[in-house]
Amino acid sequence: MVNTQLLHPKLGLRVWLQQYGDAYSRKAERLCELVRSREVTQLMMQFPKGTPAGMVLVDEMQDFNSTRVEIIAHLAATNPQLKVVACGDALQSVFPDVINEEDAHLPGQGSHALSTWDMVPDMQHFSMDVCRRCPDPHVRFVNATMRSMHGGKHCIQPMKSSHPGVPGMSEPFLFVHPDLRLGTNHAASITAEQVCLIISHFRKADPSLAPEDVAIIALSTNKNAVFHHLINKLAHLYA
């Protein structure tokens, strides 16, 4: 989607694209700059070529980083002919800029991707507070950690499970997310940082929880890199 927009002849960016052809994040930032300045006001389709899109459907919006969300939100705000439908889970995300405690007090920083839609006028917002997939212990765990991490900033409502009391599942657990394709060491560092944040916030929610009560299970593909980062970050708890 990003590359298709930057290839439009009127932008004259073909030479620039040859230089940054493989730098997807830089291309997304460039497109965002053009959308902010209103040099780009339409989302062009690749097929049929040069046709403006009339509708955009986005799934798993919580996994979009802030730049990509801003592109779509700005286009929706400035182009009334473009209808955008975005779905996502406010209690789920893998990107570090979603949970950024140091910058959480700054406007637009440390904010959830879904909250960026506030800039879209006449937006219809639908919120569901029942999870029909996860057992009650997992939903309660996510409520305690993710809502605490956001500090109530985005009015994230607590969820409840549609099927509480699953036999044999009385303790919370976490799903494992695959490699983020950011390089082994970088991905391991992000994973470790998020694990530390989760432990920190869950201990605030439940002061009786001790570090030794937490079991961390990683995929074999992590090749101990996650554990290496966790040892450095959590060593003080076990000193």
Q: What is the pTM of this model?
A: 0.62
> 160: helix, coil or strand?
strand
Q: How far is CA 36 from the centre of its chain?
A: 21
Q: In which element (H, E) is residue 199 found?
A: helix 184-205
Distance CA 150, CA 237 (A): 24
- What are 125-174's pLDDT values in tens digits? 777 788 887 778 778 877 777 666 655 555 567 788 887 666 666 666 66
Beta strands (DSSP E) in the chain are 44-45, 51-52, 55-58, 83-86, 130-131, 160-161
pLDDT of residue 7: 83
- What are 89-115's pLDDT values in tens digits? 766 665 555 544 444 444 444 456 666
161 bridge partner residues: 131
**Residue 211 in this model has a pLDDT that exceeds 50:** yes
